[in-house]
Structure 1
Amino acid sequence: MEQLISDVSHFHHTPYYCEENVYLLCKKLCTDGIANAEGSDIFVVFISNEKKQIPLWNQKASHRADGVILWDYHVICIQINQGGGPPQVWDLDSSLPFPSPLPSYISETIRPSFKLFSDFNRLFRVVHAPIFLRCFASDRRHMKDSDGNWMQEPPQHEPIVAEGNDLN
C-alpha cells in the first residue's frame, strides 16, 4: 500500500480541474482502504478569496523556479492520521511529496510567514468528505471563454452529479 500512496500516477488528474480531481481522489482513498470507507477521516479544503487570486508555491503548473502560481482557487484533501501522526495533505497539483505532512505543506505551499498584499490573503473552506462526496456536482462553465471555447481541456469523464440529482 505504501507504493500506491506515494505514487501520484495512481490517481486521476486533469490539470486545472482540482475540485473534480479531489472528488475522485477522495473516492479512491475510500475504496482502496487508504481512508475510512465512508471518508470520515478526510476533509476537502477550498482555498480562494474574493479577488480570486491566491498564490501557492510548489505547484506543478508554475513556470517559475520557486513553483509559485496565482490560482483563482484551489482544492486539496486533508486526511487526519488515526495513528497520531500529523495530518496528510493530498494535493495532486503539488510538486511536494505525495501526500505531504500538513505542517510542511503549510510552510512550503501556503507560506504563512511570507508577507502578502491584502488582495492575496487566502480564505479556507473546510468540508467533511462524506458531505462533499454526497453533495458535490461539477460546474465547468467557468472554464469556457466568452465565445464558449474551453480555456483548458475538460476531463474525459462526464461532469460529476450530486447524489439524488441524477439527470438520467
Structure 2
Amino acid sequence: MSLDSSIEFCISEENVYLLCKKLCADGVADVSDLFVVFISNEHKHIPLWHQKASHRADGIILWDYHVICIQRSKEENSLDLVWDLDSTLPLPSTLASYVSECIRPSFELFSEFQRVFRVVHAPLFLSYFASDRRHMKDSEGNWTSPPPEYKAIVAQDGTVHNLNQYIEMSTKDVLKDVGEDSVNAVYTKQLGVLVGENQLEQFFSCIPR
C-alpha cells in the first residue's frame, strides 16, 4: 500500500490519524478493527528500537511519546498487525515481532523508562482527538519545526486540542488485570485503557474476533 505524501514523520499522532483513514478508504481494514496506541510514561522518556530517527545501529531512540496503530482482524487464525510509520521493520509487522523487536519487554529498564500503552479504539479516536499543534511551538509562539500544510485536526464536538490528555499516563494507572471488563472499556472510553508493556499482547488476545 502506498502512503500519502502528506503523512510526515515528526508528529506520530497525526500520522496515525491519517493512516487509520487511509487504511479504511483503501479497504485494507475496517475502522472497527483498528486501535490507536499511545506509548509514553510520567517521565516522557520511553525507549523504542528499530526507529528511523535513531542514529544507532540498533535503531534505539528515546521518545517523549510515540503513537502506533494495531489492526485486530476479525478473521480466524489471522495475526494482529502493527502499523508504525517511524519503524524500520516491515510495514505492517506482526504484533509479536513488533513487541519482540521494538519494545523488547524482556530488556531490563530503569523505572523511569518503563512504558505505558494507552489503547484507544479507532472510531473513538477519529471522533474525539484534536490537536492545534501548540506542542510544536516554543515559549514565544514560534514553530520549532514546520507544521503540515493540511488543516489541524478538530474533534467532532469542536474541541481544538486534547493531545495532552492522551499522552498523560503513569505506570501506577495501568490495568491490574486484563480481561473482559478492560476489553469492554476500550470500546466505550474516549481515552481508552492503560496497559503495561507486559500486558499489550495479552490485551489484544482477549479482544474477540
Report the TM-score, using the length of structure 1 for normalisation.
0.89
Aligned length: 159
Change (3 A) 1:71 1:160: same
Q: What SS is found at the alignment partner of 1:58?
A: coil
Q: What SS is found at the alignment partner of 1:152?
A: coil
Whole-Å Cα distance in 2 between the matches of residues 151 and 76 of structure 1?
A: 23
**More divergent stretch after superposition (44-53 vs 77-86):** 77-86
Counterpart pick for 2:100 among 103, 107, 110: 107
Counterpart pick for 1:60 among 49, 52, 58: 52
**More divergent stretch after superposition (114-123 vs 135-144):** 135-144
Please tell me whether the aligned partners of residues 130 and 159 of structure 2 are also in contact (alpha carbons under 8 angstroms): no
Q: What SS is found at the alignment partner of 1:139?
A: coil
- 2:22 corresponds in structure 1 to 28
- Indicate the RMSD between aligned Cα atoms, in angstroms: 1.6
- 1:144 corresponds in structure 2 to 137
Shift, 1:12, TM fit: 4.0
- 1:122 corresponds in structure 2 to 115
**More divergent stretch after superposition (102-111 vs 155-164):** 155-164
Whole-Å Cα distance in 2 between the matches of residues 57 and 166 of structure 1?
A: 34
Q: What SS is found at the alignment partner of 1:62?
A: coil
Please tell me whether the aligned partners of residues 12 and 25 of structure 1 are also in contact (alpha carbons under 8 angstroms): no
Whole-Å Cα distance in 1 between the matches of residues 73 and 34 of structure 2?
A: 9
Q: What SS is found at the alignment partner of 1:19?
A: helix
Whole-Å Cα distance in 2 between the matches of residues 135 and 19 of structure 1?
A: 13
* Unpaired stretches in structure 1, ≥5 consecutive residues: none
Report the TM-score, using the length of structure 2 for normalisation.
0.72
For 1:93, the aligned partner's letter is D
For 2:9, the aligned partner's letter is P
Quote the sequence identity (%): 65
- 2:151 corresponds in structure 1 to 158
Does residue 79 in structure 1 map to residue 71 in structure 2? Answer: yes
